[in-house]
């Protein structure tokens, strides 16, 4: 679906238009091949680059063909139809338009479309920066939520089981997706500020620099949480291994201690001449001897710190 939005500084709200005009924001969500061909024809786009936007695993980057700049980025997306926690977004910056192409709905744009956060489509550089700030803030909110979940599970380290370990693997996968999306996006932003891709005024450059700083901090925070997850998983594995060793050691000791009376009982179960067989107190003598041997073995193991 293709929607045309337009708003100038003098307008009170974002308008939805039925045709193209200068200063427009064109938003295409899950476009068909016919719609993509229409966009290519209307705005003179590079067909190959636009087709790349249909690859769900497209990596962030910046390209320029003629007077049009193509900025590929990714944003957090929780739908699990694909094995990734981010979705691709192509932002096309032309001389008189801004075009966004997404394969899924972009929740971060909802507040712009419904007017909660006003945007001016005729100021394409500021519009682009506003889009990128919204995506960065979305990553930050997701990261804060992940950090809280990780610290909550870390507080119950000794109770971590298979369910928690699987959850940690999910956290790790999501964080790696975030880092893989933000790092190349930041590289493309830096390239954008140094080249002649779009017109940048002094305040625009400052906003872009602030955006890159926020992204760098986001990456550092994500890697910090990743290190925490790895440490928690390592500690949990060590605890589980230690508990397993303790259980095996206890079972081994029980086996050794129980084997002693079983051996004695097997000897006195044989149909041969045995010591004390005519002694009326033979049972109690044998039991006392066995208990003494078992007690001595237990004392030895205790002294050796086997348990």
Residue 197 per-residue DSSP state: S
CA gap 201, 266 in Å, rounded:
96
For 172-226, the pLDDT digits (tens) are 888 888 888 889 988 888 888 876 777 777 787 888 888 889 888 988 988 888 8
CA gap 21, 4 in Å, rounded:
9
CA gap 185, 76 in Å, rounded:
13
Is the pLDDT score of 91 beyond 90?
yes
Domains observed in the chain = 2-240 (3.30.460.20), 241-303 (1.20.58.340)
Neighbours of 77 (CB within 10 A): 23
For 2-40, the pLDDT digits (tens) are 999 998 888 888 888 888 888 889 999 998 888 888 888
Supply the pTM of this predicted model.
Answer: 0.76
């Amino acid at each position: 679906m293709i929607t045309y939005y337009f708003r100038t500084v003098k307008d009170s709200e974002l308008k939805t238009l039925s045709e193209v005009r200068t200063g427009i924001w064109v938003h295409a969500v899950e476009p068909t091949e016919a719609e993509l061909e229409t966009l290519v024809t209307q705005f003179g786009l590079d067909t190959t680059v636009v087709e790349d936007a249909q690859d769900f695993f497209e990596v962030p980057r910046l390209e320029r063909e003629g007077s049009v700049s193509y900025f590929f980025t990714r944003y957090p997306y929780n739908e699990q139809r694909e094995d990734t926690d981010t979705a691709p977004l192509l932002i096309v910056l032309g001389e008189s338009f801004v075009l966004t192409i997404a394969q899924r709905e972009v929740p971060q744009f909802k507040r712009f479309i419904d007017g909660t956060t006003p945007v001016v489509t005729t100021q394409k550089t500021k519009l682009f920066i506003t889009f990128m700030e919204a995506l960065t803030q979305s990553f930050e909110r997701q990261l804060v939520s992940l950090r809280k979940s990780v610290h909550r599970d870390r507080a119950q380290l000794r109770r971590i089981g298979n369910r928690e370990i699987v959850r940690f693997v999910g956290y790790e996968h999501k964080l790696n997706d975030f880092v893989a999306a933000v790092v190349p996006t930041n590289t493309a932003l830096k390239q954008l500020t140094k080249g002649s891709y779009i017109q940048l005024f002094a305040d625009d450059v400052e906003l872009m620099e602030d955006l890159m700083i926020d992204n760098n901090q986001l990456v550092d925070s994500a890697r910090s949480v990743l290190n925490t997850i790895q440490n928690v998983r390592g500690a949990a594995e060590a605890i589980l291994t230690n508990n397993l060793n303790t259980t095996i050691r206890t079972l081994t000791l029980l086996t050794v201690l129980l084997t002693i009376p079983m051996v004695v009982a097997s000897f006195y179960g044989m149909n041969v001449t045995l010591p004390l067989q005519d002694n009326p107190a033979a049972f109690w003598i044998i039991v006392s001897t066995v208990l003494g041997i078992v007690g001595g073995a237990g004392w030895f193991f205790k002294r050796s710190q086997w348990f």
